[in-house]
Amino acid sequence: MRKVHAPRFSQLCLFFVMLFLFMPLIVVAAYSFNSGHGMTWQGFSLQWYEELFTSSHDLWRAFWNSIIIALTSSLTATVIGSAAAIGLKWWSFKLSGYIKVATYLPMILPDVIIGISMLIFFSSINLPLGMFTIYAAHTTFNLPFTYLLVDSRLDEFDFSTIEAARDLGEDRKGAMLRVVVPSIMPGVLSGFLMAITMSIEDFVITFFVSGPGSATLPLYVYSSIRYGVSPVINALSLILILASMALAFIFRRFLKSFAASA
């Protein structure tokens, strides 16, 4: 069969999209190896990597803050979101429709509004801003995603398999653990990973609810570029880009093998 070429205009579009998408990343990656400080190329060096790993104490603190917040809030959001999805599918009651809509709210509201309303809320109940408030905020905005992914998984779930499990000798708990949980696992996992990503990258909401000493990585980066971009950030960026790519790749393989087995 003759290969059909995409029209010229489409090719052009593709080219520019790729350019805008990847050029900045490539520039950042390249300049992380620059031996100079500014935007002119002064030769290859690993000095920024050295600085990153030896004398960037605040940066690492922010990094670990991010990781801790991401893991804890995603875990909480995944547990609550999955339970909510199962519960709302199982028992439909008068309010369940409203609850569903309410769950989507944090997803569609602008971050600024969520951020500021949380700030007002936390200060009105005299909760000191810090790691805990960030954790609470992240859990909240992650919930819709974990809920949604498990819920869509449940749409395909055949509820009569629960009865089959009961019929075959499992009690309620056994049926839940041996039938429901394995069936929704892919949804739970993708929800969890999505929540981690969203939590690590969030800036706006975190900005409002963070307190002294609780800066996350995005906040740290933002505050440090106000004094000029340090190439250390470039070095960190490249590491993060590579790490996320590796994670995404592993996750894809993992999901694929799960899908094949499902």
Partner 1 sequence: MQGKGSAISIQHITKSFGSFKALDDVSLDIAPGEFFSLLGPSGCGKTTLLRIIAGFEEPDQGEVLFDGTSVLRLPPEKRPCNMVFQNFALFPHLSVRGNIAFPLKRKGLGKEEREERVDELIRFVELTGHDNKKPGQLSGGQKQRVAIARALACEPDVLLLDEPLSALDAKLRQSLLVELDEIHDKVGITFIYVTHDQGEALSVSDHMAIFNEGRLLQAGTPYEIYESPSTLFTASFIGEGNIFPCTALSSRWDEEDDEWIITVDVPALGRTLEVTDWGPVEDGRRLYFSIRPEKVRIVAGDVDLGPGCFHGIVDEPVYAGYQSKFYVKTDEGATIRVLKSHTTYLEEGPGIEWKDRVSVIWRPADGYLVKEEWHEET
Q: Which residues bind partner 1 (CB under 8 A)?
A: 158, 160-161, 163-171, 174, 178-179, 182-183, 261-262
Of 58 and 163, CB closest to partner 1: 163
> Nearest distance from residue 174's CB to partner 1, in Å?
7
Shortest Cβ distance from residue 121 to partner 1 (Å)? 41
Whichever of 87 and 174 has its CB closer to partner 1, that residue is 174
Q: Is 209 in contact with 133 (CB distance < 8 Å)?
A: yes
In whole angstroms, give the CA distance from residue 60 to residue 251.
Answer: 25
Closer residue to partner 1, CB minimum distance, 169 or 212: 169
The answer to whether 75 and 192 have CB atoms below 8 angstroms apart is yes
Torsion of CA 56, 61, 66, 67, to 10 degrees: 100
The CB-of-151 to partner 1 minimum distance in angstroms stands at 18
CA gap 89, 155 in Å, rounded: 9
Q: Residue type for 42, please?
A: Q
Nearest CB to partner 1, comparing residues 3 and 173 = 173
- In 3-state terms, what secondary structure has residue 34? strand
DSSP 234-259: HHHHHHHHHHHHHHHHHHHHHHHHHH
The answer to whether the beta carbons of residues 179 and 142 sit under 8 Å apart is: no
Residue 45 vs 161, nearer CB to partner 1: 161
**Complex with partner 1: residue 185 or 204, whichever CB lies closer:** 185
Query: Least distance (Å) from partner 1 to the CB of residue 156?
Result: 9
List the one residue out of 36, 62, 95, 105 whose CA is nearest residue 215.
62
Q: Report the nearest approach of partner 1 to the CB of residue 191 (Å).
A: 18
In whole angstroms, the minimum distance from the beta carbon of 93 to partner 1 comes to 16
Min CB(85)–partner 1 separation in Å: 17
Residue among 50 and 163 whose Cβ is closer to partner 1: 163
Compute the distance between CA of residue 142 and CA of residue 137 in angstroms, rounded to an integer: 9
Structure tokens at 98: 């409203």
Query: Which residues in 73-94 are b (16+ Cβ under 10 Å) and which e?
Result: bbbbbbebbbebbbebeeeeee
